[in-house]
Amino acid sequence: MDLWDREREKNFFLDTLKSFASPEQLFYKLEDTYYAYIPKGFSAKGQVLQSRNSLIGHYTEKWCQKILAPIAHKLGLHAVQGVICEDIALTRQSPADVAFCTTPVAEQEAKNVKLIFEIKMSIVSNYRYDVQTRTISYYGDYTTHQGNPSLLRSDSMLKAIGKAINIRVSGDKASGIPLLVIGNSPITESYIEKVDFLKESGVIQGFWSLNPYPSESKSFLKRTPKKGFLTFENYEELEKACFSLLSTPFFYFSSMKTKKELGRIIAIASKESTDIERAEKFLALLRE
């Protein structure tokens, strides 16, 4: 199975144009030419393209569900879109874009949700649309246009982080569920330390790009030092990463204690017989 690429982006435009959208809903119009993004050196002349966001959002969420479904199946799970679980802050207004669950329904109990995916994908490269021939042609990678697609967009990153934190602080029922942010672009340098910290602290288990070749250059950021951000080269790597993430149960915890309090907790927990019992005792004492 193929990951995200330019052909997928072209297909989005062609499929959407055939179905219901007009060129004006999908492209910027500069003189007589339609562009997916304003090329660098051009003026947008006041144009703001908002209508495409919901369309590409729906398209990419559906695509992710489809590409993740075989992986979920191998794990004995279901890849479900729009998962709702009030106990872990997944509401009707803000559901999980895609989640691995034990049952194939949208409304879930927390115990049935095994992995949550927040999808932050978009059109990455620039394209021109020819109205006469109804064809899409590649015009340049993300470095040639004025847009900030996918994980390169700061507000997309902040929204994903905010949603993850909201899930994490919803209570203990969310503490054992991994959270992933899925994109199709690199991240900016300003987020390198942030994504690694979020992974190391357990808030988010990773920011993953499913676009192996977002740029014609090979110098784009493919991973961060602590692998808070990763770019997958092929489907097998994605599958392996999902298997690895779900192979060992983990528990998220966050607390602010004095060194004296922590010392007392560690001393008490260390008296337990096994590593798991010591961990359980430690976590229980943190919540007291």
22-53 burial, b for 16+ CB within 10 Å, e for fewer? eeeebbbebeeebbbbbbeeeeeeeeebeebe
Same-domain status, 204 and 263:
no
Q: Which domain holds residue 181?
A: 6-247
pLDDT per residue of the chain (288 residues) written in tens, 0 to 9: 899 999 999 999 999 999 888 999 999 999 889 999 999 998 887 787 888 999 999 999 999 999 999 999 999 999 999 999 999 999 999 999 999 999 999 999 999 999 999 999 999 999 999 999 999 999 999 999 999 999 999 999 999 999 999 999 898 899 999 999 999 999 999 999 999 999 999 999 999 999 999 998 888 999 999 999 999 999 999 999 999 999 988 777 676 778 888 788 888 888 888 877 887 787 787 676
Dist CA 22 CA 25 (whole Å): 5
Asked if the structure places residue 32 within a domain, the reply is yes
Dist CA 99 CA 55 (whole Å): 20
Asked if the structure places residue 1 within a domain, the reply is no
* N residues, the chain: 288
pLDDT confidence of residue 283: 72
The contacts found for 19-25 with CB under 8 angstroms, 24 or more apart, are: 21/51, 21/55, 23/129, 23/131, 25/51, 25/52, 25/55
Which residues face 113 on adjacent strands? Answer: 101
pLDDT confidence of residue 88: 97
Same-domain status, 26 and 47:
yes
Same-domain status, 184 and 81:
yes
Q: For 26-66, what is each residue's pLDDT tens digit?
A: 999 998 899 999 999 988 877 878 889 999 999 999 999 99
E strands present in 66-186: 78-83, 96-101, 113-119, 126-130, 135-140, 179-183
Same-domain status, 120 and 260:
no
Same-domain status, 261 and 161:
no
pLDDT confidence of residue 94: 95
- In the three-class reduction of DSSP (H, G, I as helix; E, B as strand; rest coil), residue 204 is classed as coil
Asked if the structure places residue 127 within a domain, the reply is yes
Give the pair of three-digit tokens for residue 247: 């192979």
> What does each C-alpha distance from 214 to 20, 27, 140 come to in angstroms?
28, 20, 10
Same-domain status, 93 and 210:
yes
> What does each C-alpha distance from 92 to 84, 87, 95, 117, 118 come to in angstroms?
6, 12, 6, 16, 15
Give the pair of three-digit tokens for residue 53: 């966001």
Asked if the structure places residue 195 within a domain, the reply is yes
Dist CA 57 CA 164 (whole Å): 18
- In the three-class reduction of DSSP (H, G, I as helix; E, B as strand; rest coil), residue 62 is classed as helix
- In the three-class reduction of DSSP (H, G, I as helix; E, B as strand; rest coil), residue 268 is classed as helix
Same-domain status, 191 and 285:
no
Query: Model's pTM, two decimal places?
Result: 0.91
Dist CA 203 CA 157 (whole Å): 14
Same-domain status, 170 and 217:
yes
Structural domains counted in the chain: 2
Same-domain status, 42 and 90:
yes
CATH number of the domain encompassing residue 209: 3.40.91
State which amino acid sits at residue 238: L
Same-domain status, 67 and 170:
yes
Same-domain status, 236 and 270:
no
Asked if the structure places residue 206 within a domain, the reply is yes
Which residues face 182 on adjacent strands? Answer: 119, 208
pLDDT confidence of residue 271: 86
Asked if the structure places residue 165 within a domain, the reply is yes
pLDDT confidence of residue 214: 96
pLDDT confidence of residue 218: 80
Same-domain status, 234 and 274:
no
φ/ψ of 100, rounded to 5, equals -85, 125
Q: Taking a C-beta distance cutoff of 8 angstroms, is the pair 88, 107 a contact?
A: no
